[in-house]
Structure 1
Amino acid sequence: MTALPPAFETWFAKRGWHIHPHQQDMLSRADHAALLLIAPTGGGKTLAGFLPTLVDLASNPHEGLHTLYISPLKALAADIRRNLTTPVEEMGLPIRIEDRTGDTSSARKKRQRADPPHILLTTPESLALLTSYEDAPRIFAGLKRVVVDEIHALAESKRGDQLMLALSRVQAMCPDLKRVGLSATVEDPKAIAHLLARHPDPCEILLADPGPEPQIAMLNTDAPPPWAGGGAVYAIPAVMEEIKRHKITLIFHNTRAQAEIFFHNLWLANEEALPIGIHHGSLDRIQRERVEAAMQRGELRAVVCTGSLDLGIDWGDVDLVIQVGAPKNVKRLVQRIGRANHRYNAPSKALLVPANRFEVIECHAALEAARDHDLDGEPRGPGPRDVLCQHILIRACSGPFDTDVLFAEVKSTGSYADLTRSEFDDCLDFCAAGGYALRAYDQWQRLLERDGLWQLRDPRAARLIRMNIGTIQDSDLLKVRMKRTRGGKPLGEIEEGFAASLTPGDTFLIGGQIVKYEGLRDMTVEVSRDAARKPKIAVFSGTKFATSTQLSQRILRLLARDDHSALPVHTADWIALQAGVSRLPEAGRLLIESFPHDGREHVCIYGFAGRNAQQTLGLLITKRMEDMGLAPMGFVSTDYATLIWGLNPLQDATGLFNRDALRKGLDRWLAGNALMKRTFRASATIAGLIQRNLPQLRKSGRQATFSSDILYDTLAKYDPNHLLLDITRQEAMRGLIDFGRIDDMLDRIDDRIDLLRLSRVTPFAAPLFLEAGRTPVEGVAQERLLEEETERLMQAAGLMN
């Protein structure tokens, strides 16, 4: 066992602390090639990750960079720098600590390259940028350790793939580099360890004492939740009372728009004028930092927020977390719960607020899963090739490279361990010349081979490549600021599509205040304050969550129970009524209800496949129904079901869910669909085919869309097997369309389909009639209705016998 040096023992003792077992384990295993520590929130994970570094630097003078710390959030990197500086200064250790993110000044970045600190805290994008410089070997010379914090959050996106590719490059420069991963919420430790390790080297997994069980419950409210919607306005009085009873309450929402609406309504109910803030990723950075600072000083009683406050930042006296809306994912719920009582062996406290009646069931299922430590997560696919293309271009920026060496580096990355040489060569060919259909264009002639090494054809292209590093797609965003005559204060960002729908005088919510749209100036939305009218709901960028597969199966198992007395009376009665009128959905079967309502025929399909998959199912099934002569007119989907309406009743579901027919229908639908073009645009931007950032210029969303649409149409016509089209198809199937979950659903039901013909709307179907986001179906139904209406008008005019 490695002993803690006396200076550290003294520092711990002065604070009344003692080293935790998992911190001691990390110190004793400092020479292991890769370590993954899974420890509870507030358990000192970050200090455990840094202890070997601090102990080493305290006794062994080191020139230049010693440890890299990688965070998914800029704010988290800054917070860790502040927290880490305290023990360093109090022990008088000769250690320089700095952070480097998109918010760091160019002057400091330049100095950091020339004279790196001992510990550099940064993000995946900034690390990738550092590896792109010609002097990268000098910058990373002597690097001994890399600490990846909140690794579970990075593992779920392309940012994690980019990070691990960047680390493969750093590891090539520093062969003895030790890797450390830190997380509190990992559903599959072995999968994360595989991602972290340098393949095929192993990664040891350390599990800390999980600590006391969190205190989680549903919020009791006087009013029952509504049948549909996501605002949870009914719970405002009860939430207000909880705020009064606690020091600081974090109120999480799943979307930025819902956070804005809830904050607005909460503020209207805040009769005692308690200090309450709002925090989400579309707000201006200065406003976010002001809220963060006020939280740390204990000046706020509550903050309405989104995933922007999910991760491991220590917010001091937060003693309650409220999750508004079903969490959709148990792992996310556990992560958010950990923000309360952020101390070792102190139980977290959280309340769940379902936004509607179906979410009551989902919240109870999520509570049970959290208590059972049953975390969910989708299996990771192979490393995305658009990210690999960007990595090849980044590597070219730093100087000539040997393809065999680079291929070996990439293969050492867990998610790319199964990459074939032909797949790698396809990416290299795309980076070099753009692919078959684009070879004639100079702008995509980027790499050339000389003396057996590949390099940039024009060294000046490095600047453009560096300006577009990253996998985060923040397209279609416009800045919002107060009108210049009103001070010009920046407020945040909204989606360009929403801005295009505004006319002067329209009002909308941003940062918790109602503003009036004045006009667009220099790609900036100018507004003024106007609290007089009911605002529109602004559209912000951000992830829109779907209920996880594991949580959906828990909901079905909950429904299958004989006793639902643990649920609120109104929800238990609703379930009983559904069982009496129709049938409850079951895990191994597919329930379909067919019934007339308001002069139309309706079909409700309870797939429990998540919103994206249910939406795709609606598109495919309505096409099948049209082929069967049922004249569907439209549909609407939730995480649990799809409701379709039309002119003719569904009497037989045989063949409706034929897998091959559905896939063929999907392929036909995708071929000319705008969704494919949007997916193509994202992958083409990551892969470097399209540049969003140009010197002295940033393309607007419309300009980039126009460019990518032309490229998509060109490739689809002249080079249908182009690498980026193949990537686009894979991304669409896995992401926005989520056909894989339809496949999983078909595997589960195995032709066990229960079609019930009923006389009226059922209790479970009723909420879908209140859902927004209805999708019309253009086809036979519209033509037939037009013919009938024309005939009626002709008869009324006396023009027909």
Structure 2
Amino acid sequence: MPEQINAWFERRDWRIRDHQAAMLAADDRGEHALLTADTGAGKTLAGFLPTLAAFSIERLALQPQSDGLHTLYISPLKALATDVGRNLLTPVEEMGLPLRIETRSGDTPSNRKQRQRFKPPHVLLTTPESLSLLISYPDAANLFSGLQRIVIDEIHAFATDKRGDLLALALSRLHALAPQARRAGLSATVAEPDEYRAWLAPWGDIDRVAHVVGEAGAAPLVSILLPEEERVPWGGHAATWAVPQIYREIGRNRTTLVFTNTRFLAEYIFQRLWEVNEDTLPIGIHHGSLSVEARRKVEGAMVRGELRALVATASLDLGVDWGDIDCVIQMGAPKGSSRLLQRIGRANHRLDQPSRAILVPGNRFEFLEAQAALDAVEAGERDGESFRPGGLDVLAQHAMACACAAPFQEDALLHEVQSCLAYSWVDAATWQRVLAFVGNGGYALRAYDRFQRIVREEDGWWRLARPQDAAKHRLNAGIIIDGEMLNVRFRNGRSLGKVEERFAASLSTGDTFQFAGLDLEVEQVKEVEITVRAAKRSAMIPSYGGARLGLTTHLADRVRALLTDRPGWARFPDDVREWLEVQDWRSQLPGPGTLLVESFPHAKREYSVFYTFEGWNANQSLGMLITRRMEDQQLSPLGFVANDYALAVWSLKPVTEPAKLLAPDILAHEFVDWVQNSHLLRRAFREVAVISGLVERQQPGKAKTGKQVTFSTDLIFDVLRKYEPDHLLIEAAWADARSRMTDVGRIARLLDRAREQLVHVALERVSPLAVPVMVSIGRERTPVGTADDDLLVEAHSLAAAAMDPD
């Protein structure tokens, strides 16, 4: 360890932790490394320690460093990259190291981006998307040739999804340009380290990746907030009942971070907190749809300690180090122990001090989920997504990026692609299909000149078809496909952020809504912009169509175990314990090894509730499949509603043999037919068409509206389904529809369970366990808070029927 670094630690009365020293030692040995350590363990400093050491006085004397790019830091969040850059400058300046550090993301001004390519800093902090754009420039080989280190922070947050695919391909390109560069992955919540070591290593060679385990930190202090006077609610997710209690908690702390699972809920809870904010405490809001200016203003206020509370989404739950946060509040169910650990770790971001967190369940099932997550945290258990094959649409985008940088030989680039684990499965035939698609759009589209982007010359090299296609690629490249968005601005040009086009379509001049913590009135709605002014009170809040956070399999198993752990019920609130006791007496509990289905009449209809615990996505898909099969069996289905825990279906005729509805061949027949003829495949195709570059969202000086993009992709989709059903993008769309949109893997596991574990209980009336999903009927699309009175009446009516022993 260089003395310059030792002295800095001593001046701060700190010690260099074992895992930090181990990261430096691994780098000195020329090894890649994966560091798994608790939040607050100094992971980011450990990742950068080899870089700081390389620029110390004594090491520079032995091995001078070039003036080019030395270390690339890759973050899943813009906010995290900005925060790391801010925190990294302190040790660099105090040690007196000759290091230049800069950030690069979609928020970076274009003139700075251009300068960074020709005069790069020693350390560049960026995101997977910005890195992919960097490798698309002709000067990429010069920029990265001297690269020594690549630090990937919060590696668990994107390695298993399409952003991870894009990053893996970029890493394979960097390995070709700078084979000497060592990789370091950092995470607090990796469940299977060897899988991430294989993902991190070129060619999946885990023997080349050291696994460094961090020193254990103080155990977090986690509690569950319960109503002071009322009972734990039967239904709902907003936990509005807790707002006065949360406000009092904010008043007791210096700074409180309030996490929500959606942008809608962030805006809603923020407004409810201000309604009770009698002391006018400074409370802010932060989510990904706010403008850059709004987010930076809030982040700066947090750094300066000017806020007492901040309501945020996942935009801040990774790695952001604000040491003065002394309490984290999680609104609603956490959905996974790893995600909860990440959010808890934002409080008291120090290894030797316990993080304090409060979980606020919105309903009784969410109470069980919160308890299961708390138990998992106490047991030190992690969960997470599993790895899957890389997407063909992302591979097509990468091939185009490489062509923008320079002509390539297809065999050489295939060799690069196969070096990353996500695409090790790609063979020569698949690669030919990808290149043919990027080259001319495929057989059915090759007659159209605009789909011809790269050409294969007689010498075997692939080149851009037109030089201007490089600029089009950089304008449209990316992986994150939100719903089409409209900018929200004041008349003076000040931007507040973006709302989805489908919400904007419901607005007219004079309408009011709440956004960015403000009450706004619509002055004008143009193609891609909404002009607003300040307004009086409004109840309408924009909702967003992004994917829901899914209940992890690990947490679902823990919830089922709680249901049958009768001695453990003693620690539950009286009303929750009574709920389970009456359910056990009147029907049965769906514990491990049991797939419970209840059937009962209610309000002149026949209901069946399937307690799957497979998450909303899988349950929603299962509802579509089951109702189709019920139609074939002439049971006259009328509808269904799903949550993370259960699926309720209602019909005119009773379900007497639910096993027939869950026969495995439902995936071979109804599933294929449903996806083929539903909006799902079209929506999946729309996304892969944009990611692959087939359809452009942006044109120089103008952005397409969502309707224009939808029209273009739907037209191409219909042509391909008719004339080329095995087209590369149809295959990619099917892969997305199966894995991400329908969660078919969890449905398949459920069907396997049904053959041996299904228990059917016929009841005379609704059961206690069915009430939470029953009160959701008809209110899935109702904004939170607008039907509270009706919901309360319905819940009381159902609860009375369910809990009354007579």
Q: TM-score range by the shorter chain?
A: over 0.9
> Hey, what does 1:597 align to over in structure 2?
602
Task: Find the aligned partners of 2:124 and 2:541 in 1 and give their Cα distance.
Answer: 40
> Hey, what does 1:95 align to over in structure 2?
99
Q: Deviations over 1:166-205 (max 9, x none)?
A: 1111110111111111111111111111111111433111
* Alignment counterpart, residue 29 of structure 1, candidates 21, 26, 40: 26
CA shift in 2, pair 1:378/1:111, >3 Å: closer
Output aligned runs, 1:11-410, within 5 Å.
Answer: 11-30=8-27, 31-58=29-56, 59-60=59-60, 61-63=64-66, 64-202=68-206, 203-222=209-228, 223-410=230-417
| CA contact 1:253–1:306 (8 Å) conserved in 2 | yes
> Hey, what does 2:802 align to over in structure 1?
none
Task: Find the aligned partners of 1:543 and 1:209 in 2 and give their Cα distance.
Answer: 35
Output aligned runs, 1:592-671, within 5 Å.
Answer: 592-671=597-676
Q: Deviations over 1:50-70 (max 9, x none)?
A: 111111122323221111111
- In the TM superposition, residue 350 of structure 1 has moved relative to its aligned partner by 0.5
- In the TM superposition, residue 772 of structure 1 has moved relative to its aligned partner by 5.6
Q: Which moved more, 1:88-97 or 1:640-649?
A: 88-97
Does the residue aligned with 2:185 lie in a helix, a strand or coil? strand
> Hey, what does 2:789 align to over in structure 1?
none
CA shift in 2, pair 1:772/1:209, >3 Å: farther
Task: Find the aligned partners of 2:24 and 2:541 in 1 and give their Cα distance.
Answer: 51
Q: Which moved more, 1:653-662 or 1:695-704?
A: 653-662
Task: Find the aligned partners of 1:691 and 1:26 in 2 and give their Cα distance.
Answer: 43
Task: Find the aligned partners of 1:654 and 1:55 in 2 and give their Cα distance.
Answer: 64
Counterpart amino acid of residue 695 in structure 2: I
Give the TM-score normalised by structure 2.
0.93
1:479 pairs with 2:484: no
> Hey, what does 1:797 align to over in structure 2?
none
| CA contact 1:480–1:493 (8 Å) conserved in 2 | yes
Give the TM-score normalised by structure 1.
0.94
| CA contact 1:588–1:749 (8 Å) conserved in 2 | no
Task: Find the aligned partners of 1:512 and 1:200 in 2 and give their Cα distance.
Answer: 46
- In the TM superposition, residue 221 of structure 1 has moved relative to its aligned partner by 2.7
> Hey, what does 1:466 align to over in structure 2?
474
Counterpart amino acid of residue 271 in structure 2: H
> Hey, what does 1:781 align to over in structure 2?
none
Task: Find the aligned partners of 1:106 and 1:288 in 2 and give their Cα distance.
Answer: 19
- Structure 1 unmatched ranges of 5 or more: 777-801
Task: Find the aligned partners of 1:774 and 1:276 in 2 and give their Cα distance.
Answer: 30
- In the TM superposition, residue 19 of structure 1 has moved relative to its aligned partner by 0.8
1:572 pairs with 2:572: no
CA shift in 2, pair 1:33/1:470, >3 Å: farther
Does the residue aligned with 2:33 lie in a helix, a strand or coil? strand
Does the residue aligned with 1:536 lie in a helix, a strand or coil? coil
Task: Find the aligned partners of 1:775 and 1:208 in 2 and give their Cα distance.
Answer: 44
* Alignment counterpart, residue 718 of structure 1, candidates 716, 723, 726: 723
- In the TM superposition, residue 488 of structure 1 has moved relative to its aligned partner by 4.1
> Hey, what does 1:701 align to over in structure 2?
706
Q: Deviations over 1:408-432 (max 9, x none)?
A: 1111112112222222221111111
CA shift in 2, pair 1:749/1:589, >3 Å: farther
CA shift in 2, pair 1:13/1:473, >3 Å: same
Task: Find the aligned partners of 2:87 and 2:780 in 1 and give their Cα distance.
Answer: 50
CA shift in 2, pair 1:293/1:775, >3 Å: closer
Does the residue aligned with 1:448 lie in a helix, a strand or coil? strand
- In the TM superposition, residue 5 of structure 1 has moved relative to its aligned partner by 1.7
Does the residue aligned with 2:608 lie in a helix, a strand or coil? strand
- In the TM superposition, residue 258 of structure 1 has moved relative to its aligned partner by 0.9
Task: Find the aligned partners of 1:656 and 1:48 in 2 and give their Cα distance.
Answer: 54
| CA contact 1:634–1:774 (8 Å) conserved in 2 | no
Task: Find the aligned partners of 2:607 and 2:83 in 1 and give their Cα distance.
Answer: 54
Q: Which moved more, 1:590-599 or 1:328-337?
A: 590-599
Q: Which moved more, 1:119-128 or 1:198-207?
A: 198-207
> Hey, what does 1:740 align to over in structure 2?
745
| CA contact 1:574–1:763 (8 Å) conserved in 2 | yes
| CA contact 2:627–2:649 (8 Å) conserved in 1 | yes
| CA contact 1:494–1:541 (8 Å) conserved in 2 | no
1:540 pairs with 2:538: no
Task: Find the aligned partners of 1:371 and 1:587 in 2 and give their Cα distance.
Answer: 21
Identical pairs, percent: 48
Task: Find the aligned partners of 2:430 and 2:148 in 1 and give their Cα distance.
Answer: 32
Does the residue aligned with 2:769 lie in a helix, a strand or coil? coil
1:757 pairs with 2:765: no
- In the TM superposition, residue 344 of structure 1 has moved relative to its aligned partner by 2.2
Task: Find the aligned partners of 1:716 and 1:95 in 2 and give their Cα distance.
Answer: 55
Task: Find the aligned partners of 2:454 and 2:687 in 1 and give their Cα distance.
Answer: 22
Q: Which moved more, 1:719-728 or 1:653-662?
A: 653-662
Counterpart amino acid of residue 23 in structure 1: Q
Which segments of structure 1 move beyond 6 Å, counting only runs of 4 or more? none
Does the residue aligned with 2:672 lie in a helix, a strand or coil? helix
Task: Find the aligned partners of 2:636 and 2:37 in 1 and give their Cα distance.
Answer: 56
| CA contact 2:85–2:125 (8 Å) conserved in 1 | yes
Q: Which moved more, 1:274-283 or 1:86-95?
A: 86-95
- In the TM superposition, residue 532 of structure 1 has moved relative to its aligned partner by 3.4
Task: Find the aligned partners of 1:285 and 1:219 in 2 and give their Cα distance.
Answer: 34
Does the residue aligned with 2:246 lie in a helix, a strand or coil? helix
Does the residue aligned with 1:300 lie in a helix, a strand or coil? coil
CA shift in 2, pair 1:775/1:272, >3 Å: closer
Task: Find the aligned partners of 1:248 and 1:567 in 2 and give their Cα distance.
Answer: 29
1:553 pairs with 2:551: no
Does the residue aligned with 1:655 lie in a helix, a strand or coil? helix
Q: Deviations over 1:442-469 (max 9, x none)?
A: 1111221120111112122111111122
1:454 pairs with 2:452: no
Task: Find the aligned partners of 1:226 and 1:512 in 2 and give their Cα distance.
Answer: 27
> Hey, what does 1:786 align to over in structure 2?
none
Task: Find the aligned partners of 2:766 and 2:393 in 1 and give their Cα distance.
Answer: 47
Does the residue aligned with 2:566 lie in a helix, a strand or coil? coil
- In the TM superposition, residue 774 of structure 1 has moved relative to its aligned partner by 6.2
| CA contact 1:396–1:455 (8 Å) conserved in 2 | yes
Counterpart amino acid of residue 748 in structure 2: D
Does the residue aligned with 1:629 lie in a helix, a strand or coil? coil
| CA contact 1:477–1:541 (8 Å) conserved in 2 | no
Task: Find the aligned partners of 1:752 and 1:17 in 2 and give their Cα distance.
Answer: 56
Q: Deviations over 1:9-55 (max 9, x none)?
A: 22111111121111111111113331001111111111111111111
| CA contact 2:659–2:754 (8 Å) conserved in 1 | no
